[in-house]
Amino acid sequence: MKIGILICDRYRNCAGGKCFKAMRKREGAFEIYKDDEPLEIAGYTTCGGCPGGNIEYAPEEMIKNGAEVIHFATGFIVGYPPCPYIGYFKNFIEEKYGIKVVVGTHPIPQKYFLIHEKLGTWNSTEWQEFINPTLTNESIRKLYD
């Protein structure tokens, strides 16, 4: 399975360590892939900064490189504030390019989980759907702090 990863531009200097660790260990949003299914990165870039100028073009390049699915990095949902465009970006990419978009990569770090829980950030049904693939459990979340 070839995967494209889009990250929030505020984390543009991120080297992808947590994402790649989670992909290798099949944790967080990567739990959907079988352990014996080879995973390969077909692209890794930022959204281009608010309001996501790169969202229009980056998926096409990833698809040309063989991407079969695109993941939005967990930074989109744990940032302060979380990305307000994530639902639109997901719908746009799926409609324009006909490719599945998964919200999340690595498990939500526990420190982010706790503050967003206090803030009530993810109380809506829509946000519950967005965080579900990366929610995992407390012991795994702590490994990503």
Q: How confident is the model at residue 35 (pLDDT cuts 50, 70, 90)?
A: very high
Q: Which domains does the chain have, with CATH numbers?
A: 2-143 (3.40.50)
pLDDT digit string (tens) for 84-130? 999 999 999 999 999 999 999 999 999 999 999 999 999 999 999 99
> pTM of the prediction?
0.96
* Identity of the residue numbered 117: E
List the 100-103 sheet strands across, edge first. 40-46, 2-7, 69-72, 100-103
HEC string for the chain: CEEEEEECHHHCCCCCHHHHHHHHHCCHHHHHCCCCCCCEEEEEEECCCCCCHHHHCHHHHHHHCCCCEEEECCHHHHCCCCCCCHHHHHHHHHHHHCCEEEECCCCCCHHHHHHHHHHCCCCCHHHHHHHHHHHCCHHHHHHCC
pLDDT bin (cut points 50, 70, 90) of residue 14 is very high
pLDDT, tens digit, 9 for 90 and up, residues 41-85: 999 999 999 999 999 999 999 999 999 999 999 999 999 999 999
